[in-house]
Structure 1
Amino acid sequence: MKHWMRDHGLLLANLALFLFSFVGMVLSGVLHYNEEQLTHGEPTVTPAGFLATGDFLEATFENWESEFLQMGMYVVLTAYLFQRGSSESKLPDKHEPQDDDPQDAAGDKDAPWPVRRGGLALTLYEHSLSILFFALFAASFLLHAVGGSEAYNDEQASHGQPGVSVLGYLATSRFWFESFQNWQSEFMVIAVMVGASVYLRERGSVESKPVAMAHSDTDT
């Protein structure tokens, strides 16, 4: 068990941080939501009831949407673009293992099943990481629209204004403001990481080059 936890510590730590943050978001979110409800003379909800509100869906999935878009684009862009000296980039002038033709390993019994199978299974598997992120982005984008339209309609109703459909909400400036304000922050962080990793170090981290490595050297 000790070795298993050591071997999966990075995943377990991030899952624990996610759960801690998610619970914190729900508990603080329901308090804020109920304060708003009381201000407008509306009924309050329990934490479980808060999970079914448009406010919760909107707040959650507008953030998840940007995260999955960021990682999906990053996976694709790092396959084709370079940043000399950055630990986040492949070497511009060197063939990397990630570029090897997987068909050459079709006879390797330890290779993943799609590699041994070939054909469409291999084609999909070659891009399965980006497919996953873009599928999660699409699902989060849709749930952001669904939750956002519900929250928007609640606000409209409180002011005696007509509501909109989910498609109608997609045409509002509010939806795109929510999306772009999250997207821009995600790509800004990636740009900082790519650029800063050329010159700055974090000893022991795989996201950093060795401390003594020259700035112009990309090979980690």
Structure 2
Amino acid sequence: MEQTTFLYRNSLSIVFLSLFVVTWLAQIWTGWNQHNEDLANAGARTILLSAYVRSGHFFSATFENFQSEFLQMALYVVLTVGLRQQGSAESKRLEGKEEVDREPMPSADAPWPVRRGGWILKLYSNSLSITFSALFFVSWALHFYGSWQEFNVEQALDGREKIDMISYLSEPVFWFETFQNWQSEFLSVASIVIFTIYLRQKGSPESKPVDAPHSETGK
């Protein structure tokens, strides 16, 4: 096998993580300016950037997006185990077992949980969906906390009383923020599932081969 560099071997994750960091920093900067503009328009004092990254505005904006992404991935991982879409590159074949369905066999190169066996192997066999689900619930809780804090800031600026966390659960603004993100994630997954039936991208593992018939399911 030809020797490759670290950057080449990890270029996909490096590029996406770099894009994440750049856009997250841009979100923080623009969010801070927008929040201070809103505070100034309401006659309140503006805040420092260090205070902003601890504010409800920042937590709500950040984790509102995180939780919907992790929900999307958790459901995608779990639902593609048993559900099918004829012709889609994102689906397993309609009949028969695939490589991902085989029972794990211990070997020298297998991950440690496979060699260990028992409940550790059982947990590891579902670790991807468990991790995405845990990240979703944590992000959902942090989005809720940030949204509640920001709601109370707006309440105070308008001269209204703050409310507790339990009462905030019945406020439509939090659920509006939640559902507007969920629906977009579900649409994006449905899009790639359906589009890969008929459309191609040469060289991409997310596409079927260019000459594959539309009815061919899987890659």
Q: TM-score, normalised by structure 1?
A: 0.95
In structure 2, give the amino acid aligned to 1:203. Answer: K
Q: Which moved more, 1:194-203 or 1:35-44?
A: 35-44
- Consecutive unaligned residues of structure 1, counting only runs of 5 or more, are none
State whether structure 2 residue 169 is matched by structure 1 residue 159: no
In structure 1, give the amino acid aligned to 2:206. Answer: E
Q: Distance in 1 between matches of 2:63 and 2:129?
A: 19
Cross-structure match for 1:196: 195
Please state whether the residue corresponding to 1:30 is helix, strand or coil.
helix
How far apart are residue 166 of structure 1 and its match? 2.1
How far apart are residue 116 of structure 1 and its match? 1.1
How far apart are residue 53 of structure 1 and its match? 0.9
State whether structure 2 residue 170 is matched by structure 1 residue 168: no
Q: 2:43 aligns with which of 41, 44, 48?
A: 41
State whether structure 2 residue 95 is matched by structure 1 residue 73: no
Instruction: Using the aligned pairs only, state the percent identity.
Output: 44
Cross-structure match for 2:176: 177
Residue-by-residue CA offset, 1:163-206 (whole Å, 9 max, x unaligned): 12222222211111111110000000100110000000111111
In structure 2, give the amino acid aligned to 1:12. Answer: I
Q: Which moved more, 1:157-166 or 1:185-194?
A: 157-166
Please state whether the residue corresponding to 2:5 is helix, strand or coil.
helix
Cross-structure match for 1:5: 7
Residue-by-residue CA offset, 1:116-143 (whole Å, 9 max, x unaligned): 1111101110110011101000100110
User: In 1, are the aligned partners of 2:86 and 2:216 still within 8 Å (CA)?
Assistant: yes
Q: Which moved more, 1:113-122 or 1:168-177?
A: 168-177
State whether structure 2 residue 203 is matched by structure 1 residue 208: no
Q: TM-score, normalised by structure 2?
A: 0.96
Cross-structure match for 1:26: 28
Q: 1:2 to 1:35 in 2, by over 3 A?
A: farther
Q: Distance in 2 between matches of 1:158 and 1:42?
A: 7
Q: Distance in 2 between matches of 1:158 and 1:10?
A: 45
User: In 2, are the aligned partners of 1:148 and 1:169 still within 8 Å (CA)?
Assistant: no
How far apart are residue 93 of structure 1 and its match? 1.1
- Consecutive unaligned residues of structure 2, counting only runs of 5 or more, are none
How far apart are residue 2 of structure 1 and its match? 6.1
Please state whether the residue corresponding to 1:152 is helix, strand or coil.
helix
CA-based RMSD of the aligned residues comes to: 1.2
User: In 1, are the aligned partners of 2:90 and 2:218 still within 8 Å (CA)?
Assistant: no
In structure 1, give the amino acid aligned to 2:181. Answer: N
Q: What aligned pairs does 1:100-111 form with structure 2 within 5 A after superposition?
A: 100-102=102-104, 105-106=105-106, 108-111=107-110
Q: Distance in 2 between matches of 1:133 and 1:74?
A: 10
How far apart are residue 62 of structure 1 and its match? 0.8
Cross-structure match for 1:127: 126
User: In 2, are the aligned partners of 1:84 and 1:217 still within 8 Å (CA)?
Assistant: yes
User: In 1, are the aligned partners of 2:44 and 2:157 still within 8 Å (CA)?
Assistant: no
Please state whether the residue corresponding to 1:87 is helix, strand or coil.
coil
